[in-house]
Amino acid sequence: MTWRATVLTLFPEMFPGPLGVSLAGRALASGVWGLETRDIRASATDRHRSVDDTPAGGGPGMVLRADVLAAAIDAVDASSDRPRLVMSPRGRPLSQARVAELAAGPGPLIVCGRFEGIDQRVIDARQLEEVSIGDYVLSGGEIAAMALIDACVRLLPGVMGKLASSTEESFSAGLLEYPQYTRPQMFEGRPIPDILTSGDHARVAAWRQAETEALTRARRPDLWALRPVQITGPKSESRKTPKNKTDG
């Protein structure tokens, strides 16, 4: 079954956008994955196609209505067991591990919010998983949805040229990726590290691992603190309790 992303948005014309070029675009054109966009306004019931209203309790902005958004979700597939996501700055941060889980499934349904957010009742009633791509606020969920979809698509079989490249990059092992270099050998007085051109694969692997650990410690101490700690070395021997000596 083809992996498929369904996006509910007020601006379907934003898609495929960046997803239509490069690796994701070629894979989309060849049918490796599918993209479906649904206009939330199509589920509005009044002649003005209203999708929002003022916040209960007062406050600035507008809020997406629960009844309209619920109808839009149900119109896709009311009985679907696909992951249902809503892009939100208050959601759980998107991780590479979660991306891998989503890529291994049938593909998610993604709700893109706008204005001040969406009615909490539709989040609860339709069991939407709130997902964040960072601690900042965007004008809507569309760009965040594109980022999530792109991260998933590149893990699909047949999308990336070399499988090893996806297993050695940042976050694949919970750490940041090591620095990369290519020709020319010298750039503005900065050479490629000699070890990378030594031909010694064991030394190269050790250098890359050391750089990965150093970068993660310096830039993402939160990731470094969560890494699995490997205990090496001989097991400590149990100490024998010496017998008490008595004067004879």
Q: Is 138 annotated as a binding residue?
A: yes
- Amino acid, res. 71: A
Q: Is 35 annotated as a binding residue?
A: no
Q: Is 136 annotated as a binding residue?
A: yes
Q: Is 133 annotated as a binding residue?
A: yes
CA distance 98 to 40: 26
Q: Is 176 annotated as a binding residue?
A: no
Q: Is 189 annotated as a binding residue?
A: no
The annotation places the binding site for S-adenosyl-L-methionine at 113, 133-138
The annotation places the binding site at 113, 133-138
